[in-house]
Amino acid sequence: MAMIEIKDVFAGYGIGPDILTGLSLNVVAGRSYCIVGPNGAGKSTLLKVICGQLPPRSGSVMFNGQDLAGLRTDEVLERGICFVPQDRSLFTDMTIRENLQMGGYILKDSAEIDRRIEGVLEMFPVLKSRLGLAAKTLSGGQQQQLLIGRALVLRPKVIMLDEPTLGLAPKISRQIFDSMNELKAAGIAIIVVEQNARMGLNFADWGCVLDLGRMVFEGPSQDVLSDERIEQLYLGRKRQTEAAS
């Protein structure tokens, strides 16, 4: 059974037009999803709807049979859905330890938070040696690791990442995907929006192509990768740039 059931969701900003136009998607526990699609398709908007930052105009988002509509971000976090947004929202002037502690903010239990941070640090040794430094001193890739680590403090069931490799060198991007593979191995469901469609689809179990606010195709990642029509419409340019580099 699906853990998250998104059904016929319409959503938009303010009095603006619908950005999501009847979108549906099922997320199964422990499985990983890669969402690809052109700029402005509504990928980030979808993640914002799931995590409660943007209430849908109609349709429903169910989590384990319970409607998430009307819940605030903190209430969604409590249920085990964490979000790593596109804009690298770290507390750049706070230390790495403080950033991780803020990750556990909703627990409001310092001892428990510190215990969990120990666990998170085992996965990210780079952070461990720099706990007292300001987060802004980290490189782009390390900041992304900190963002993931901060989300992991809550031991989520689902983690959503919006373009985690944006602006990172290919080698660093692979490290981020290595980390994501560890999460996958730990049984956490992952929803990742990825510009580098090939890398994202190779990582994920399930691929989704989003365009104009709805799913135009979804299926096992390898099917998405090998579908010629999708390749032409959505992945084509990527392959050329990759071939060039």
Ligand X SMILES: Nc1ncnc2c1ncn2[C@@H]1O[C@H](COP(=O)(O)OP(=O)(O)O)[C@@H](O)[C@H]1O
Residue 40 binds: one of another protein, ligand X, Mg ion, none (C-beta under 5 to 8 A by kind): ligand X
CA nearest to 214, candidates 61, 64, 77, 11: 11
Token pair, residue 195, equals 């510009």
Considering the rule CB under 5 A, would residue 44 count as an interface residue with Mg ion?
yes
Considering the rule CB under 6 A, would residue 13 count as an interface residue with ligand X?
yes
Considering the rule CB under 5 A, would residue 45 count as an interface residue with Mg ion?
no
Considering the rule CB under 6 A, would residue 42 count as an interface residue with ligand X?
yes
Residue 108 binds: one of another protein, ligand X, Mg ion, none (C-beta under 5 to 8 A by kind): another protein
> What distance in Å separates the CA atoms of residue 101 and residue 104, rounded to the nearest whole number?
5
Out of 5, 9, 44, 189, name the contact with ligand X by CB under 6 A.
Answer: 44
Smaller CB distance to ligand X: residue 14 or 65? Answer: 14
Buried-exposed string 192-210: b where 16+ CB fall within 10 A, e elsewhere: bbbebbbbbbebbbbbbbb
Which residues contact another protein (rule: CB under 8 A)? 14, 53, 72-74, 77-78, 83-85, 87, 89-94, 102-103, 105-106, 108, 150
# residues near ligand X by CB under 6 A:
11
Q: For the CB of residue 119, give the shortest distance to ligand X in the complex, in Å.
A: 31
**Angle of the 170-185 helix axis to the 140-152 helix axis, nearest 10:** 10
> What distance in Å separates the CA atoms of residue 238 and residue 235, rounded to the nearest whole number?
5
Smaller CB distance to another protein: residue 58 or 89? Answer: 89
Report the greatest alpha carbon distance in the chain. 53
CA nearest to 3, candidates 162, 147, 187: 187
Q: For the CB of residue 229, give the shortest distance to ligand X in the complex, in Å.
A: 20
Considering the rule CB under 6 A, would residue 19 count as an interface residue with ligand X?
yes
Contacts (Cβ under 8 Å, ≥6 apart) of 228: none
Sequential DSSP letters for 92-136 = TTSBHHHHHHHHTGGG--HHHHHHHHHHHHHH-HHHHTTTTSBGG
Q: For the CB of residue 30, give the shortest distance to another protein in the complex, in Å.
A: 23
* Chain residues in the site for ligand X (CB under 6 A): 13, 16, 19, 37, 39-45
* Chain residues in the site for Mg ion (CB under 5 A): 44
